[in-house]
Amino acid sequence: MGLWTLLLLLLLLAVCVSLPAPANVSITSYNMEHILRFWPDLRTPSDARFTVQIHGTRKQQWKTVAECAELTARQTCNLTSKLKDTFGYYVARVQAFRTNQTSSWTTSNLFHPLADTVLGPPEFSVSGCGNCLVLQVRDAPGPLLYQEELKDLHTEMELNVRRTRDGAEFKLKSHQQEIVISYLQPGVEYCVSITFMSFINRNSVPSEYRCAFTSPPPPQHTLFLVLGLLGGVTLLLVIVVGRFIFSRKVKNLHLPCMKFSSQSYTCLKSSLTEEDGVTT
Amino acid sequence: MLALVRLCLLFVCLTGSAAEAELTPPDDLFMLTLNTNYTLAWDWDQSAAGSDSATFTVQYAGNHSLKKRNPKWTTVCAETSGRSCDLTRSGLNYLGLYVVRVQTNLNGRHSVWKSLQFSPDKDAVLGPPSKVRLGVSGRTLDIFITDPQNSSNSSMKEHLNKLSYDIVYWEQPEDGKGSMPDTTSTEANVVTLSSIKPWTRYCIQIRSRDDFYNKTSTFTAPLCAQTEGVVPWWKIFMYFLLSLVSCFLMVLLFLYGGHHCFQICKATFLPNEKLPSYIKQHEGDYPRLIVSDYESDLCDPVIVCPESAILVINPAVDSAAPPAGLDQDRSSRHSRQNSSSSGDSGVYSAGGNSGGLQPKVASTFTDVNPGFDSEKLNMLSMNSEFKVFPAVPDEGVVDMEV
């Protein structure tokens, strides 16, 4: 009887003092780089370690990831080379452990490498060709292991073309690295954004809008012409009015004529005789 | 005997079955489609039933399920009296292959099923673009195309990935014949035609197309618009100048007209000239020039003499007091007395000498006249009371009144 109670007490003790399992486990992927992240429970002691196991659809058993057998709380586990079956589904689980204690397992979400990975924005350049635009898409980086798969994922693209002056936009689909968008208006600016969009993967980050002119914009000579004409006419008016006011002032102040030519003497004399005629 | 009875029975059975004739199934099964709207239509011969009206049942199933022992048929229209059934709401997959079947029902009897194999991707008709809009920007033409819509009002591009548009455009002046049409093909929804002429009217027609099963829609109704272009600089200059000149002329005319009106009004209601004060003196009376009734007040006898005679007769003229400072009307009287006139020969005789001297009817002695110097000399000589008798043979005596 005593032995049983002792055993019961020991069991209870083990349960009460056991480690809490990690709170959250998730597998995220960016450009086919798969990373496992976990968040330990708040009550987990700081000296606890964590171990990771994965389980695929082909092999129905849990396999410990060798590099992630003893992780600290803040570390992550790189599963890029472990999830080789790109069309299969994987599940991961994490357990906390100390010298004599282990916690229960926390499992992650179901992960499909090709479908759930997030593809980064495509790198491309835009240039104009008269009434069209030429886009050159560059190869996106990724782990060497999955170059073929990435190439497949990067084949189908959706272009979002937008005209700057009035905001008219439309979508186009393409699967080539050199894309020509034709039937555009020459002499205006268009902005393009590309997103990877294949049947299997719809989690692509759209790229930034890149803008270019289809052809150099025509020079705005109309405005200059109108401004020039207005300026010319204003100047003419100013000259005419100024001359009118000036000549009037000359008459009122009896100023002698300024010497513009050799006829100054004649000018003075004629003004004087005029005066005589007025007063007598 | 027995054989005869059997034969009779067989005959009766046969006639009996003949009387209860086989119910004819519907025929001419036909699928009427547009985008994702599907309608099954059939025909059935009414004459066999007589006056009774038959009803029809329509069912469909996936082609793959027919291979099973118990294919799952979904009823779309049960006991419908019309000759058509709408399968749009049945949720048929655009890429699927289905078998649709119809059966006639009359008085509890059913005909055999008549079926039709149907795949929307292969058989459904593609509709034209749902909306086309034209925009003009300079010398280019913008075409805004809206995709054909499926039954849930979303784009048909969801089902047909490579949906493209054929655009036919031609020159169409308002009064005249159109030119040969050009065709372009595009997948985009915004197309800009740039290889067209400016200041020309164009019409367009569009149809949608999918190349996988060579589906083409009907053309939309023609839409027309006129392109614009760059205005040549000399035209701008001409318009500017014309508007400037016309504005200037109008303003000038307006100002001149206004000024003229103002002047007229001012002259009419506020004249500058003022009436002399002695005319205005009599208030209430009409203004008159002659204010006194007595002739002696009004009139003064005036004698006009030739100049030389005046100088002789009136030596008392004080030359020290030059008449230049006298009043205008008083001095005029004196000067009239003193002056001579060669024209009035009735009062005095005008001599040859006096004829040489000009009559001085002017009011002041300060007229600038080089000929007057001789007269001044004469006056001075008078002051010294020295009588001068010029040699004038014809001079007469002049009566003077002071």
Check whether residue B190 and residue B212 sit in a common domain.
yes
Does the pLDDT of residue A186 top 90, yes or no? yes
Task: Locate B162 and state its tokens.
Answer: 């490579």
The residue written with tokens 């999955």 in the block is A146
Is B220 in contact with B227 (CB distance < 8 Å)? no
User: In this structure, is residue B240 part of a structural domain?
Assistant: yes
Is A18 in contact with A101 (CB distance < 8 Å)? yes
B143 versus A147: which is more confidently predicted?
A: B143
A275 touches chain B (CB under 8 A): no
pLDDT for the residue B99 = 95
pLDDT for the residue B76 = 92
B189 CB neighbours in chain A (<8 A) are: 170-171
Check whether residue B62 and residue B96 sit in a common domain.
yes
% pLDDT > 70, chain B: 68
A168 touches chain B (CB under 8 A): yes
Distance CA B311, CA B387 (A): 9
User: In this structure, is residue B377 part of a structural domain?
Assistant: yes
The CATH number given to whatever domain includes residue B138 is: 2.60.40.10
Distance CA B136, CA B133 (A): 10
Check whether residue B260 and residue B177 sit in a common domain.
no
Tell me how crowded residue B242 is: count the other CB atoms within 10 A of its CB: 10
Confidence band (pLDDT; 50, 70, 90) for A15? low
pLDDT for the residue B12 = 65
Read off φ and ψ for residue B383, nearest 5 degrees: -55, -35
Check whether residue B384 and residue B331 sit in a common domain.
yes
DSSP code for B62:
E
A224 touches chain B (CB under 8 A): no
Tell me how crowded residue B393 is: count the other CB atoms within 10 A of its CB: 8
Q: Do A170 and B190 touch (CB under 8 A)?
A: yes
The residue written with tokens 């092999």 in the block is A59
Distance CA B314, CA B382 (A): 9
Task: Locate A32 and state its tokens.
Answer: 């086919």
pLDDT digits 0-9 by tens, B50-65: 777 889 999 999 999 9
Does the pLDDT of residue A218 top 80, yes or no? yes
Does the pLDDT of residue A267 top 50, yes or no? no
Distance CA A73, CA B168 (A): 67
Distance CA A78, CA A33 (A): 8
Check whether residue B241 and residue B331 sit in a common domain.
no
Does the pLDDT of residue B324 top 50, yes or no? no
% pLDDT > 90, chain B: 47
Distance CA A12, CA A135 (A): 68
User: In this structure, is residue B81 part of a structural domain?
Assistant: yes
Is B262 in contact with B231 (CB distance < 8 Å)? no
Domain that holds residue B192: 131-226
**Least confident among A40-54, A241-255, B346-360:** B346-360
Q: Which of B194, B204, B234, B251 is the best substitution to test chain A (most A C-beta atoms within 10 A)?
A: B194
Tell me how crowded residue A4 is: count the other CB atoms within 10 A of its CB: 8
Which amino acid appears at position B12 of this protein? Answer: V
Is B88 in contact with B38 (CB distance < 8 Å)? yes
Does the pLDDT of residue B113 top 60, yes or no? yes
**Least confident among A26-30, B23-27, B98-102, B160-164:** B23-27
pLDDT for the residue B331 = 44
Q: Do A170 and B192 touch (CB under 8 A)?
A: no
Per DSSP, the three-state class of A176 is coil
Cα–Cα distances in angstroms (integers) from residue B396 to residues B314, B331, B357, B381, B382, in the given order: 15, 25, 16, 22, 20
The average confidence (pLDDT) of chain B is 78
pLDDT for the residue B123 = 93
Q: Do B194 and A131 touch (CB under 8 A)?
A: yes
Cα–Cα distances in angstroms (integers) from residue B333 to residues B303, B310, B358, B378, in the given order: 10, 13, 18, 21
Q: Where are the beta strands (DSSP E) in chain A?
A: 24-30, 33-39, 49-56, 63-64, 77-78, 90-97, 106-107, 123-128, 133-138, 157-163, 169-174, 178-181, 189-196, 210-213
User: In this structure, is residue B206 part of a structural domain?
Assistant: yes
Per DSSP, the three-state class of B48 is helix
pLDDT for the residue B327 = 44
**Looking at the partner chain, which of A169, A173, A233 has a beta carbon nearest the beta carbon of B244?**
A233
Q: How far apart are the first and last CA of chain A?
A: 158
Does the pLDDT of residue A164 top 60, yes or no? yes
Tell me how crowded residue A229 is: count the other CB atoms within 10 A of its CB: 15
User: In this structure, is residue B300 part of a structural domain?
Assistant: no
pLDDT for the residue A193 = 96
A170 CB neighbours in chain B (<8 A) are: 188-190
Domain boundary among B80, B96, B123: B123
User: In this structure, is residue B158 part of a structural domain?
Assistant: yes
pLDDT for the residue A235 = 94
| Closest chain B residue to A228, measured at CA | B237
Check whether residue B55 and residue B105 sit in a common domain.
yes
| Closest chain A residue to B369, measured at CA | A280
Count of domains forming chain B? 4
B157 versus B45: which is more confidently predicted?
A: B157
Q: Do A168 and B368 touch (CB under 8 A)?
A: no
Q: What is the mean pLDDT of residues B271-299?
A: 67
Check whether residue B89 and residue B139 sit in a common domain.
no
**Least confident among A212-221, A243-252, B346-355:** B346-355
Per DSSP, the three-state class of B278 is helix
B187 CB neighbours in chain A (<8 A) are: 172-173
B73 versus A278: which is more confidently predicted?
A: B73
CA angle B61/B62/B66 to nearest 5° reads 80
A161 CB neighbours in chain B (<8 A) are: 188, 190
User: In this structure, is residue B280 part of a structural domain?
Assistant: no
B368 CB neighbours in chain A (<8 A) are: 280
User: In this structure, is residue B1 part of a structural domain?
Assistant: no
**Looking at the partner chain, which of B187, B190, B240 has a beta carbon nearest the beta carbon of A226?**
B240
Domain boundary among B96, B123, B150: B123
**Least confident among A45-59, B87-101, B195-209:** A45-59
A219 touches chain B (CB under 8 A): no
For B148-165, b where at least 16 C-beta lie within 10 A, e where not — what string?
bbbeeeeebbebbeebeb
pLDDT digits 0-9 by tens, B185-240: 999 999 999 999 999 999 999 999 999 999 999 999 999 999 998 888 889 889 98
| Closest chain B residue to A171, measured at CA | B188
Read off φ and ψ for residue B179, nearest 5 degrees: -90, 180
User: Which domains does chain A possess?
Assistant: 14-116 (2.60.40.10), 123-213 (2.60.40.10)
Q: Which of B182, B183, B190, B245 is the best substitution to test chain A (most A C-beta atoms within 10 A)?
A: B190
Domain boundary among B123, B144, B175: B123
